[in-house]
Chain A
């Protein structure tokens, strides 16, 4: 049965071109890139080629890119490095709406004696850059602020943030896993020190990530062992996935502009269609500064898991911020931080598109969802 996949902020389909590039490293080219023989050594070249492509996507130098196992590892590594090299400074600044890879890591650090400032956001999910300036103290080791939010797609003003943080001489990391490949990022123009990148959010496979570390940044490795990645990340390289990430970066760079126009117009068609056909609906987040592929829409008086399971009957895939779909019984921390009313959080659905999303996908949702909402509302004691 046809799958209507609108959950690309969760993960994306591996591009055919990416898969093709990866295949030899599962079969004939299985050497260890660290080996002294040519059979292994030739694989090393593949890694360096991929590093160049990843660097090019954000206008960095190849030796500023370190491959990791995922976005979460990149995030943990960056923050821990900031603390390790921070000359005993024990204060971290982040936001309340970070991905758990940063948020829960910071919470865990706060239980281990570090001080963490979690900056608030406004109703539209925006941070106030002045808040960062105010929060920075002599004790601040690192500021970690996401580039774009995974739930709402809201883009933070990273350039402004970077200028403030760097003017105070503090280290700056950004979790950009939702932005890289969707938005042009140029590190020559954006003075951040570290950037987290994830493969599977941009049509590379799961289990591969990267960390950009600006030249001259003091760095302390998180995973310790062999000398791989010039001592910055131990562990035998995931050659196939690194090659895949390189190919995915190249694709993203070549097609980003055209893709964004197409993706955002499909997203708008979906969003406007739902706003028109369903009463008591609201869009969450700042629509002026938003990823081109993301729409977070609340259907009041109905519960998200119920919506998702009804959509599932038609093989439509999306996500929800409701309590029932989270592991904690509490609904989305992002929407709560924005002060979205509970009536709307429980019924929030995130649609996230990709370059593979078609007009037909959007039409299928527009055809099915309004009926589902009406039906669930007739079942709800709050429905009209």
Chain B
């Protein structure tokens, strides 16, 4: 919809300054670490590159490339300013609130921009430390529109003491699309507030033999995934199952479609739901 938001003009002078004259734009040459977060589909994306002194573990340079609105650009620039000179352990303590604070505050609806900055930093440091994407991105997708996991919602709710769905949307975008996940978000908030252990974690896992596992994976892919892809003139093939790693190959439109990341995520979600919570999916 074409309409103005009043808060567009509620940016602080610092946001405006870093949006109009951002610092540290671009890519660090021969970067030691890179973190990417968001996607062009969702409307904002950030690529952070770092140069790290191997002896001191200090960030000697940080640069960003951002696709997004004024506050996304300003948040990215703020992030690079904050972390330069910090050791990785110090940098990991930087929260989205620090980024928002550096900017003199962000409109509530734009807090997700500061969260994106914090996540890109996390991703870059994980990348440097050799922590794989699968390990860092736990959880199941709650918000299909923006690909937000329950893990992320829990983390942001905890760190920012959020207690309304509206705020979860402001900070993560979750629930800001079709709105179908709103009740799920409500229950996550309740759960975090009570900090009860996740009920799913308490369920005993049934023993799953390899043969049974592969059979089940194949069945889910054939019955639940392939028909959806065929409808978009794509296809999927199960290549291998290696421990908990499910290797698939996407064909047709999906291979270079922007949404293929989302598709892999969806397949993973289905497999975790029906086969085993430990599974993760990789493209061949």
Contact = CB atoms under 8 A, between A and B. Distances in A.
Interface in B36-78: 36, 40-47, 65-70, 72-73
A321 interface: yes
A381 B176 contact: no
Interface in A314-348: 319-333, 341-343, 346
Given A313-B20, A380-B67, A327 B3 contact: yes
Given A303-B68, A309-B70, A329 B173 contact: yes
Given A320-B2, A329-B173, A381 B43 contact: no
Consensus secondary structure, chain A interface: loop
Contacts of A182: none
A309 B66 contact: no
B70 A327 contact: no
A342 B233 CA distance: 19
B280 interface: no
A301 interface: yes
A381 B36 contact: yes
A309 B26 CA distance: 21
Contacts of B69: 303-306, 309, 322, 324
A217 interface: no
Given A306-B68, A309-B70, A325 B2 contact: yes
B258 A343 contact: yes
Given A303-B68, A343-B258, A379-B25, A327 B47 contact: no
A3 to B, nearest CB: 15
Given A378-B25, A379-B22, A328 B66 contact: no
A382 B2 contact: no
* Residue of A150, A310, A329, A350 with highest tally of chain B CB at under 10 A: A329
A268 B145 CA distance: 36
B177 interface: yes
Nearest to B177: A330
A309 B42 CA distance: 20
A329 B181 CA distance: 14
Interface in A235-292: none
Contacts, number: 108
Contacts of A231: none
B69 to A, nearest CB: 4
Given A303-B43, A325-B8, A329-B173, A350 B68 contact: no
B67 A382 contact: yes
Contacts of B173: 329
A356 to B, nearest CB: 20
Contacts of B72: 303, 306
Interface residues of B, number: 35
Nearest to A310: B20
* Residue of B2, B26, B44, B66 with highest tally of chain A CB at under 10 A: B2
Contacts of A309: 8, 19, 69-70
A303 B44 contact: yes
Contacts of B19: 306, 309
B8 A382 contact: no
A329 B66 contact: no
B1 A381 contact: no
B177 A381 contact: no
Contacts of A323: 42-43
A324 B68 contact: yes
Given A313-B20, A329-B173, A305 B70 contact: yes
A329 B178 CA distance: 10
A378 B47 CA distance: 13
A29 interface: no
Interface in B119-171: 145-146, 169
Contacts of B46: 381
Given A306-B73, A380-B65, A322 B22 contact: no
Contacts of A328: 1, 176-177
Closest CB pairs A-B (n = 8): A329-B176, A305-B69, A324-B69, A323-B43, A381-B65, A381-B47, A380-B67, A342-B41
Given A326-B1, A341-B258, A342-B40, 14 more contacts: A10-B2, A303-B68, A304-B69, A309-B69, A323-B42, A325-B3, A329-B145, A331-B43, A343-B40, A379-B25, A379-B73, A380-B65, A381-B45, A381-B65
8 contacts: A303-B69, A303-B72, A319-B2, A328-B176, A346-B67, A379-B25, A382-B40, A383-B65
